[in-house]
Amino acid sequence: ALYHVGESGQTLFITGASRGIGKAIALKAAKDGANVVIAAKTAQAHPKLPGTIYTAAEEIEALGGKALPCIVDVRDEKQIGEAVEQAVRKFGGIDILVNNASAINLTGTLETPMKKVDLMLGVNLRGTYLTSKLCIPHLLKSKNPHILNLSPPLNLNPIWFKNHTAYTMAKYGMSMCVLGMAEEFRGSIAVNALWPKTAIQTAAMEMLGGAEVGKQCRNVDIMSDAAYAILGKPRSYTGNFIIDEEILKTEGIKDFDIYAVAPGNALLPDFFLDEAEALVQNMGDQVVIPVAKGDSRSAATSGPIAETFNIIKGVLNPDIVKSTGGVYKFNLSGEHAGVWFIDMKNGGGSAGSGEPPVKADVVMTMDSADFTKMFAGKLKPTMAFMSGKLMIKGDMTLAIKMEKMMSMMKSKL
């Protein structure tokens, strides 16, 4: 790298820096003595998510950096404006902007409330555009200014739209800011995007995929190291959509096991990368079989699916029903096509073939062979979903809760 991010007291303005990847970038810069503006909304401890802007500030200062915690909703022009003014007043300017704040909701068009659509578009797209707009006048005065958006390459393969159109639109909005602003400010400000090749272990990821998903992730250090490699380059390095592993290879990193949460485990590929499909194909008995088009004939009363449901009926009890609170419908295709349900919402629970007795909260569409593997613990739902092979419509948190039942069944299958 030609520049050290923290040299001469450089100032980084990072949105969503109270935890996760944003905080990891902040802490790495702090070791170089950088000034860090923590622009995030968590001022009081969250019941499920660790860290606040104040705990992040303490960690930054403990490592030798200077911190300015600012309570900010990135959708609010007044709050962003005040945070930018405070940063310039305290540190004399802004050299680097990291647009990290993001909202996610992985549901289809009919299942996504407009409140969630507005949140994703407001935080991801509008927040990124607004924060960039208000920081740019100050970035133009810096010796080596950078904007880095944590967003994916603009991949128009429909597989990345069909299950979560609103989320994809919102994340691609961040990427389109890179495309436009890199050209608009070419020669003045470097504007780039960074995206991970694999899933990254963060509190948000655990909320989406459960605690077990962490074993298939890399840690946040790979993203902070990759960000550092980008931010150390001259302003002429602009308009790039960078994958973390690829830039670190050019920096001489060869052993990526150092970033694995559980070295040796199959890694969960991240969204929006077509090579993710190829990655999934090489995962042994975790391989995802593409969903085949089957007919909708009623399910058989014998065979692997019927046997699986007999076991499901055996493990259902009032405690599981109480802790889950959802009705599941499975549209299975392939060799053992049919419709099945699990009711973990009413009474002591029930399961069987055909339509559920009440409206399903979650509808899962997949190949019958994958269903059998999933309940045998050989295929993780998160792996199937993130590779685009499993369709989930409805409440994603209920889809995750179902993994608890699968772990109970694993010993019986």
Catalytic residues: 167
What is the distance between the alpha carbons of residues 129 and 309, in angstroms, rounded to a whole number? 49
Other beta carbons within 10 angstroms of residue 50's beta carbon come to 14
Are 22 and 13 spatial neighbours (Cβ–Cβ below 8 Å)? no
Q: Are 363 and 196 in contact (CB under 8 A)?
A: no
Class of residue 408 by CB neighbours under 10 A (exposed 0-12, middle 13-18, buried 19+): middle
DSSP 33: T
114 is written with which tokens? Answer: 């407009």
What CA–CA distance (Å, rounded) separates 353 from 372?
A: 15
β-sheet bridge partners, residue 69: 38
Output the CA angle 207-208-211, nearest 5 degrees.
Answer: 55
Widest pairwise Cα distance in the chain: 73
Alpha helices (H) along 126-234: 127-139, 165-184, 203-209, 221-231
Could you tell me the two tokens for 175? 């990427």
d(C-alpha 220, C-alpha 180), whole Å: 28
Q: What is the length of the chain?
A: 413
Return the DSSP state at 288.
P
Residue with tokens 């070419």: 186
